[in-house]
Amino acid sequence: MKAMRIHAFGGPEVLKLEDLPIPEPREGEFLVKVEAASLNPVDSKIREGKFPAVRADKLPLVMGRDLAGIVATRGAHASDQLKEGDTVYAMLGPDRGGYAEYAIVKAAEATRRPASLDAIAAGSVPLAGLTAWQGLFRYGELQGEQRVLIHGGSGGVGHFAIQFAKAKGAHVITTTSAAHLDFVRSIGADEAIDYRKQRFEDIVHDVDLVYDLVAGDTQERSFAVLKRGGILVSTLTEPDQEKARAHGVRALRYTVTENAAELDEIARLIDAGKVKPKVSKVFPLAEAAKAQQFLAEAHPEGKVVLRVAE
C-alpha cells in the first residue's frame, strides 16, 4: 500500500510517500480501506516533533489522525457493530495514521459515517468535530439558550463549534477576519466580529462560555467578557488560573480524545441537516506536504482533505 510517512521531525519535506505492507488487524481491530483523510493543525505539530505523545522513538510514523473509508477485514472478536463493507469514519490514536491506503482502526475510534456525506466530506469531520464537541459540551458544559463566544469560528474546529452550539440552542458569537464574516453567519453565528477592526470585549458581555481556538492576547482579554461562574475552554494554552479566580470563572485547556459514541451523535446531527462540514480544498495523497503548507499559510474556511482512493 502507499502511505505518507515521516522518519525524522522537520518541515513538510520530511513527508515521504512509501510502499508499505498492508497491516493486519489484531484482536478487536478493523482494517479500513481509506478513501479520505483530513488535515489538522496537530499533524504539523507531530511532524515538527512538538506533540508530546509522539517522540523520536515512535518514528517512522504514518501521518494523519482521522479518516473515512470502508471496513476491509475484521480482527478476531472485533465489535459486531461494524462489518466488512461498512462505510466508517474515525479519529485515530497517535500511534497510527490515516495518510495511507489502509489503516488499522479500533472499535472505540470508529463508527458508521453520516449517510448523507460522501467520503471526502466525511473524512473532514472526525478530529475537528470531536474537538469542537468535547470543548463545548464535555468541558464547556454548554446548555441551550446560553451565550457562547467562539474565537476563530471559520476554521476546521471553529466551523463545527458554531454549528454544534447553534443546534444546541445557544446564542453564538464568533470572531474571525473580514473575509470570513459571511461564511460564519451562513452557518449559524448570531453575531460575527471582525477581530482586526473591532475589539470583541467592547461588544461582548456576560457570556457563559468562551471557546478559545486562538490563545495569546485573545485568551487573556476573554476573561473580561465572561459572566461570573462562566467557563473559558482552550485547545491551545493553559489559561491563567489567577485571572480565572479573580473573575470568578473556571478556565481549562484540554486535548481531544477518540470517541466513537460522540461521532455517532455528530453523524445524527449531520444527517438531520443541522450540521454541514465545509471542505475548502482537496489534495491527492501524494501532495500531503503541499496540503499541509496550504493549511498553515492560507487559513482556509473549514477543512482541507486528502483524497486517498476514488
- What is the SS3 string spanning the chain? CEEEEECCCCCHHHCEEEECCCCCCCCCEEEEEEEEEECCHHHHHHHHCCCCCCCHHHCCEECCCEEEEEEEEECCCCCCCCCCCCEEEEECCCCCCCCECEEEEEHHHEEECCCCCCHHHHHCCHHHHHHHHHHHHHHCCCCCCCEEEEECCCCHHHHHHHHHHHHHCCEEEEEECHHHHHHHHHCCCCEEEECCCCCHHHCCCCEEEEEECCCHHHHHHHHHHEEEEEEEEECCCCCCHHHHHHHCCEEEECCCCCCHHHHHHHHHHHHCCCCCCCEEEEEEHHHHHHHHHHHHHHCCCCEEEEECCC
Q: How does pLDDT run across 61-108, given as a tens digit for each residue?
A: 999 999 999 999 999 877 788 999 999 999 999 999 999 999 999 999
Question: Quick one: average pLDDT of 131-153?
Answer: 97
Cα–Cα distance, 290 to 267 (Å, whole number): 30
Indicate the average pLDDT of the chain. Answer: 96
Asked if residue 245 and residue 132 are part of one domain, the reply reads yes
Q: Is 259 within a domain? A: no
Q: Residue 193: what pLDDT?
A: 97
Asked if residue 217 and residue 189 are part of one domain, the reply reads yes
Domain count, the chain: 2
Q: Is 53 within a domain? A: yes
Q: Is 179 within a domain? A: yes
Asked if residue 42 and residue 101 are part of one domain, the reply reads yes
Asked if residue 163 and residue 182 are part of one domain, the reply reads yes
Asked if residue 245 and residue 163 are part of one domain, the reply reads yes
Asked if residue 100 and residue 155 are part of one domain, the reply reads no
Q: Residue 1: what pLDDT?
A: 97
Q: Is 234 within a domain? A: yes
- Nearest residue to 152 (alpha-carbon basis) of 126, 171, 132: 132
Q: pLDDT class for 236, splitting at 50, 70, 90? A: very high
Q: Is 262 within a domain? A: no
Asked if residue 160 and residue 119 are part of one domain, the reply reads no
Asked if residue 247 and residue 190 are part of one domain, the reply reads yes
Asked if residue 121 and residue 11 are part of one domain, the reply reads yes
Q: How does pLDDT run across 196-221, given as a tens digit for each residue?
A: 999 999 999 999 999 999 999 999 99
Asked if residue 146 and residue 78 are part of one domain, the reply reads no
CB 150 within 8 A of CB 187: no
CATH number at residue 147: 3.40.50.720
Q: Is 272 within a domain? A: no
Asked if residue 114 and residue 7 are part of one domain, the reply reads yes
Asked if residue 285 and residue 226 are part of one domain, the reply reads no
Domain limits at 30? 2-125+277-307
CATH number at residue 20: 3.90.180.10
Q: Is 158 within a domain? A: yes
Q: Can you tell me which residue has the cell 471553529? A: 158
Question: Quick one: average pLDDT of 150-176?
Answer: 98
Lowest mean pLDDT across 76-80, 133-137, 240-244, 305-309: 76-80
Q: Is 27 within a domain? A: yes
Indicate if the pLDDT at residue 306 is higher than 90. Answer: yes
Q: How does pLDDT run across 288-299, given as a tens digit for each residue?
A: 999 999 999 999
